[in-house]
Amino acid sequence: MSNVNIDSIKTRTFDAIVVGSGISGGWAAKELTGKGLKTLVLERGRDVQHVTDYPTTMLQPWEFEHRNRLPHDVKQENPIVSKCYAFYEGTTQFFVKDKEHPYVQEKPFDWIRGYQVGGKSLLWARQTQRWSDFDFEGPARDGFAVDWPIRYKDLAPWYSYVEKFAGITGNKDGLATLPDGEFLPPHEMTCVEKYFKEQVAKNYQDRHIIIGRAAHITKPQPIHLQQGRAQCQHRTICERGCPFGGYFSSNSSTIPWAMKTGKMTLRPHSVVHSIIYDEKKGKATGVRVVDAQTHEMIEYYARIIFVNAAALNTNLILLNSTSHRFPNGIGNDSGVLGKYVAFHNYRARINGEFEGMLDSTTDGRRPNSSYIPRFRNVYKQETDFLRGYAAGFGADRIQYRSQDGIGEDLKANLSKNKYGLWHVNSHMMGETIPKESNFVALDKQLKDPFGIPQLRIAIGYDDNDEKMVKDYQEQLTEMFTKAGFQNIRFSDSKQAAGLDIHEMGGARMGHDPKSSILNRWNQLHACKNVFVTDGACMTSTSTQNPSLTYMALTARAADYALKEIKKGHL
């Protein structure tokens, strides 16, 4: 009987365990298996195989029962997730429904999740900008959060490493605030976007309009062909899953790459309950998993553990990993685990019209837009709020079809596109300040369907955010006006935090174990064989989309982990 038990433990023992298979978890799997480690990847949701498990990706609008719109009853049953722009009839299979994983909102918070192999890498907006030292040095310079334990030079080679593999389109723009990367040919700006770029350059020395940098293959390189990926087809229905692999996802790229090594075991339907800490060994030895289908508790063991469950679920797992040594969550000697969570402020938008260039229009589709890098409080503090905001920018002709006439006349009118004025639009992406009052914690009574404590979320806006929204309105209105745009309209959605889907922090990096959870290598200060490289690790948020930074941090941490294993330190 003892031999049976030993054999069972052997089959559940690996060199490494990765919790989560999204953007950062996929990279952890790729890097660890590529370095020869027998790796178990745990995913709480179902398996999604590239190409074969994208059921709506080739459907035409008329092939959907509700013409690709959400039925009223689905909206009623899902008041939170139905707020997400990407949640519609063609994508509902990739989103967590409101009743499937309950949580407690101490402040209004719209938690958008994707529980399947690939996670939200199937759904993301694919914008990929590097951070600069203006971002990494921000907390130390501006006096918020704690100092990042790394700088741009530490991450620059890893940005290059992941960009080449993932496939990033963009221009070499030469901006100090937005370092250039390893780019595939850029998408093209529309003529009005180019016009706005020229007008901004003429009127401002410190403001720039560039084409967005996005994870789309515009010209496949050998490394992309080796992954079985092809050129982006510009279908702009990426969130249904791309059968061409034209945009980067774990499903089309890192997970199959890791699988090819023969070193990866993928276990879907595996809800991680907690990390096992061995008091005598002074390290983590594995994880406890609740099988999502049988509700059986199973333990898996490994030398190192990468926690990449997405920011808030990673906090939940760490907080739920208690022991005599760590009564308040593994690695939580400082007491800051779950605190200082921040996000991006997407509330503000501005729209307008342009009466010029009526001899031109847009043709085809583009899975990208133009981008306005941060320009406030960069070289000096110039406003009454900390940090700043970036913004998207786009311009296209308004199209419509006349519904005049009856019979043949109506049919003829409906078959011809007519064009109105150029429509210009921008949305804000503001950096919020990590605060102790923005936190997540475990509920003491309420459990989820797997017997795990529900997460209490207390994350919201503050006066700094309100001032930033006001400044965005003033500055973009001025920029639009100077460019000659008309009918300028500003809106503030007042949406709850969370709908940006860029939550970060809670297990932040830092120099001092007394004020942070992770060191400069993304290791728990107090438990060196546990690494966190998803959004939970972020010390601050900057204004850039965060996923590229998660990828680079993950590749860097995996490389470090292997070196430490070879030295006998792990």
Query: Going residue by residue through the chain (570 aa), what tens digit of pLDDT does each one get?
Result: 445 566 789 999 999 999 999 999 999 999 999 999 999 999 999 999 999 999 999 999 999 999 999 999 999 999 999 999 999 999 999 999 999 999 999 999 999 999 999 999 999 999 999 999 999 999 999 999 999 999 999 999 999 999 999 999 999 999 999 999 999 999 999 999 999 999 999 999 999 999 999 999 999 999 999 999 999 999 999 999 999 999 999 999 999 999 999 999 999 999 999 999 999 999 999 999 999 999 999 999 999 999 999 999 999 999 999 999 999 999 999 999 999 999 999 999 999 999 999 999 887 899 999 999 999 999 999 999 999 999 999 999 988 888 888 888 888 888 888 899 999 999 999 999 999 999 999 999 999 999 999 999 999 999 999 999 999 999 999 999 999 999 999 999 999 999 999 999 999 999 999 999 999 999 999 999 999 999 999 999 999 999 999 999 999 999 999 999 999 999
Residue 38 shares a structural domain with residue 175: no
Residue 186 shares a structural domain with residue 50: no
Residue 283 shares a structural domain with residue 405: no
Q: Looking at the 3D structure of the chain, how many domains does it have? A: 2
Is residue 243 situated within a structural domain?
no
What one-letter code names the amino acid at 405?
A: G
Is residue 231 situated within a structural domain?
no
Is residue 155 situated within a structural domain?
no
Cα 179 to its chain centre, rounded Å, is: 19
Domain CATH for 543: 3.50.50.60
Is residue 227 situated within a structural domain?
no
Q: Enumerate long-range contacts of 89-95, CB under 8 Å, 24 or more apart.
A: 89/56, 89/64, 89/65, 90/56, 90/59, 90/64, 90/237, 90/239, 90/240, 91/56, 91/123, 91/239, 91/240, 93/55, 93/56, 94/48, 94/122, 94/123, 94/239, 94/241, 95/123
Residue 83 shares a structural domain with residue 105: yes
Give me 73's structure tokens.
């009853």
Is residue 480 situated within a structural domain?
yes
Domain edge (last residue) among 445, 470, 495: 495
Residue 327 shares a structural domain with residue 350: no
Q: From CA 497, how far away is CA 515, in angstroms rounded?
A: 25
Is residue 296 situated within a structural domain?
yes
Residue 114 shares a structural domain with residue 191: no
DSSP 505-549: EES-B-S-TTT-SB-TTSEETTEEEEEE-SGGG-S---SS-SHHH
Domain that holds residue 197: 171-212+346-431+461-495
Residue 370 shares a structural domain with residue 470: yes
Domain edge (last residue) among 495, 517, 541: 495
Residue 481 shares a structural domain with residue 418: yes
Sheet holding 439-447, edge to edge: 104-105, 453-458, 439-447
β-bridge partners, 440 = 457
Is residue 233 situated within a structural domain?
no
Residue 438 shares a structural domain with residue 363: no
> Residues 360, 522: contact at Cβ < 8 Å?
no
Is residue 161 situated within a structural domain?
no
Domain edge (last residue) among 476, 495, 514: 495
| pTM score above 0.85 | yes
Residue 33 shares a structural domain with residue 112: yes
Residue 339 shares a structural domain with residue 384: no
Residue 486 shares a structural domain with residue 424: yes
